[in-house]
A and B are shown apart, each in its own frame.
Chain A
Amino acid sequence: MTASRSKNGLRAAAFVAAGFAMSAAASAETVKIGMVNSLTGPHASFDLPASEGILMAFDEINKKGGITVKGKNYTFTVLSEDAQSKPELAVSGAQKLLRDDDIKIVYGILTSGPGMPAATLFAKSDILYFGGFTLMDTLLGKPGFELAFRTLDADAVVSKSFVPTGVKELGIKKVGILLPNEDVSRAITAAYKPLLESSGVSVPIVEYFQPDTADFAPVLRKFQNMELDGLLTGTNDAVVEAIVRQSTELGNLPKKFLYRGGSGGPGIKYAKQIDGFAWQILTRDLDYPSDPKVKEWIERYKAFTKKDMSPNTYWALTFYDTVFMMANAMEQVGSVTDVKAIAEKVKSMRYDGVRTMRFDKDGRAQSDIDIGMLKDGKISSVRAPFE
């Protein structure tokens, strides 16, 4: 992921060490924060940068002296558990955190497999939980999940800006949808297909493939000779890169792609073979930043992690701003333990950080996103406001 090719195991250890370092630096008044993320395994490409963003945010708060609640000074210490991209280990990691009575707030997990059972456990334990995985949208608003927040925009929100922008910029008229056979994909289709059609784009074919597919030739053959000019696909870089690559190899397939779920890497790599590629940067475009806040954040990230940017670094902003929101909420409600009051305060905020965001009454993020665009061989990004 980075030039340094640091070892993930060592990174995981470093994160825990960082948590203890924060602890050591803190005064007697510390707030323990739990963090579960897949620091190893196939989901680490999402969760590892996300965990870096969490640690970075708490580190910045601590370095500024922490927060002041009713005249008392508090700093934060982060205790990290590695879900290893496995649901059962996400649960055991969560259980381990819950054994510590001081932990009332937990951050982490961007993928639905490990995320669903962990979020359910946190809800049962009255934990204030900030997660990012897609299927969290199916939990929010249900009884028992009042203390849960999803820090990335739901597809229903993202698609409203992404579809019209992508269709207009790439000039697409007829699109096929190709997604992995997962619950998430049905939700994506339900959100995107009507929007495509209302944008004047016909969608004659929707196909779902086995999630761990490597060879897409047979399913791509279904899309051949349909006079499609676009393909809406997802949901991660590895899959989409394989689809783009194999599309160019097989021929007679669309050369414009709308990508739901990851970075611009898959399109940029094959920029010479395709005609267009639009992708959702659910946080901020870190590769071609024009926003001074983003530029400053990048420098701070490099200094904190001692790593360069990678195509996945933008996940580090998944939780970053919400850490500050949560800390501000603690100060405003005058408590570091009253998680219900803190949650209510977070839901009433509009925060103008690196991202501009707020949460609705159910804990769903509403934030502005960047949309990456590869067109005519040139890469750019468009900021899509949420209001």
Chain B
Amino acid sequence: MLLDIAQTAVDGLMVGGLYATVAVGVTLVFGIMGILNFAHGQLVMLGAYVAFYSVTAGWGFWPGLALAALSMALFGLILERLIFRHTLTDHMAGLTVSLGIIMVVENLASAVFTPDPRTFDPPLAGSVQVAGMTLSAQRLLVLALVLLLVGTFYLFLQKTRFGKAIRAMGQNRTGAALVGVQITHVTAAVFAIGSAMAGAAGVLYGSLFAITPYMAAGPLMKGLILTVLGGLGSVPGAVAAGFLLGLAESFGARYLSASFRDGYGFILMIVTLMYFPTGLFGARGKARV
């Protein structure tokens, strides 16, 4: 029984890490720009396709991961320069535009890639035995990569000058500008970084699950739940909430009902917000990155 619980917990952490990677991008953009970018899920989907074509072309998983992150960073930058920059002062317009982008990207992807589900061979196959538990090797790799990705990004935010500029903007945009932070540059960089995270999440997602043009809704919905659950704009909150959601889904599906899987996340969010109205790491109504 204990072994079963431990296996379920590790399963939850592994998939929760994926959710966290998506949520970090969403919360980062929200913290800086104040909009919930609904099109974030489309970047996850496109990142997964980049990896799919990279692997099927024979370039392999790792170049695919790098290519997906870079190409999505570029795509995010283009979106910011061409569209979101013009909606900075109108959050409702930003939100509406991001909904429009979903429709355009999703339908274009369906036309170009076809709706057929795609999968690609992950770098690791089969299972491994860890302390008596049978675990998927690729899922363990994904968990390690997520921890590396999120950990590196967190250190970047905390330790570098640019990271401090991002945090300053998250706390007070006008104040940051007054002390010399280049607002437009930081905004563009944040969009690029958040999009790169989405691209990387897409690759990791695609290494475990099927890729379709319509796959974005799931990661996006969970990313949004986690952004609220963790505290709007809080990167550590998004990560913690990601792992919590993974655990809730895993234990719920294993010991309660697998047919109610997505419901556990919402229950978790409702209960958390009852006791922590600003989310797990949200503080005094301020966005914290």
Find the B residue at minimum CB distance from A182.
B259
Contact A217 B261 (CB under 8 A): no
What residues on B are CB-neighbors of A41 within 8 Å?
110, 115, 214
A209-B259, A237-B117 given; 4 more Cβ-contact pairs under 8 Å: A10-B111, A214-B210, A221-B7, A248-B126
Q: Measured between C-beta atoms, what is the minimum distance from B51 to chain A in Å?
A: 16
Interface string of B202-217 (1 = CB under 8 A from A): 0000001110101100
Q: Measured between C-beta atoms, what is the minimum distance from A235 to chain B in Å?
A: 14
For residue B218, CB closer than 8 A to chain A, the reply is yes
Interface string of A245-258 (1 = CB under 8 A from B): 11011111000000
Interchain pairs with CB closer than 8 A, number: 119
Contacts A8-B114, A210-B259, A252-B134 known; A241 to B119 CB distance under 8 Å? yes
User: How many chain A residues touch B (Cβ–Cβ < 8 Å)?
Assistant: 43
Residues B109-163 near A (CB distance < 8 A): 110-117, 119, 125-127, 134-139
For residue B92, CB closer than 8 A to chain A, the reply is no
What residues on B are CB-neighbors of A237 within 8 Å?
117
What's the Cα separation between A314 and B209 when bound, in Å? 25
User: How many chain B residues touch A (Cβ–Cβ < 8 Å)?
Assistant: 44
For residue A219, CB closer than 8 A to chain B, the reply is yes
What residues on B are CB-neighbors of A218 within 8 Å?
8, 11-12, 249-254, 258, 261
What's the Cα separation between A224 and B132 when bound, in Å? 14
Find the A residue at minimum CB distance from B4.
A221
Contact A212 B218 (CB under 8 A): yes
For residue A24, CB closer than 8 A to chain B, the reply is no
For residue A207, CB closer than 8 A to chain B, the reply is yes
What's the Cα separation between A40 and B115 when bound, in Å? 7
Top 6 nearest A-B pairs (CB, nearest first) are: A181-B259, A218-B253, A238-B117, A219-B258, A249-B136, A214-B209
What's the Cα separation between A166 and B261 when bound, in Å? 31
Contact A217 B139 (CB under 8 A): yes
Residues B240-277 near A (CB distance < 8 A): 249-254, 258-262
For residue B15, CB closer than 8 A to chain A, the reply is yes
Q: Measured between C-beta atoms, what is the minimum distance from B115 to chain A in Å?
A: 5
Q: Measured between C-beta atoms, what is the minimum distance from A88 to chain B in Å?
A: 15
What residues on A are CB-neighbors of B4 within 8 Å?
221
For residue A304, CB closer than 8 A to chain B, the reply is no
What's the Cα separation between A6 and B261 when bound, in Å? 35
Interface string of A2-28 (1 = CB under 8 A from B): 000111111000000000000000000
For residue A222, CB closer than 8 A to chain B, the reply is yes
Contact B258 A210 (CB under 8 A): yes
For residue A215, CB closer than 8 A to chain B, the reply is yes
Contact B258 A249 (CB under 8 A): no
Contact of B261 (CB < 8 Å), options: A7, A213, A238: A213
For residue A42, CB closer than 8 A to chain B, the reply is yes
Residue among A1, A210, A217, A219 having the largest count of chain B Cβ atoms under 10 Å:
A217
Contact A1 B116 (CB under 8 A): yes
Contact A215 B115 (CB under 8 A): no
Q: Measured between C-beta atoms, what is the minimum distance from A181 to chain B in Å?
A: 4
Contacts A214-B218, A252-B134 known; A8 to B250 CB distance under 8 Å? no
Q: Measured between C-beta atoms, what is the minimum distance from B34 to chain A in Å?
A: 30
What's the Cα separation between A215 and B4 when bound, in Å? 17
Contact of B258 (CB < 8 Å), options: A207, A214, A241, A252: A207
Contact of A7 (CB < 8 Å), options: B111, B137, B250: B111
What residues on B are CB-neighbors of A217 within 8 Å?
11, 14-15, 136, 139, 250
What's the Cα separation between A8 and B107 when bound, in Å? 10
Contacts A218-B249, A241-B117 known; A210 to B260 CB distance under 8 Å? yes
Q: Measured between C-beta atoms, what is the minimum distance from A22 to chain B in Å?
A: 25
What residues on B are CB-neighbors of A222 within 8 Å?
254, 258
What's the Cα separation between A44 and B110 when bound, in Å? 10
What residues on A are CB-neighbors of B214 within 8 Å?
41-42
Contact A210 B119 (CB under 8 A): no
What's the Cα separation between A44 and B116 when bound, in Å? 8
Contact of B262 (CB < 8 Å), options: A8, A210, A249, A312: A210
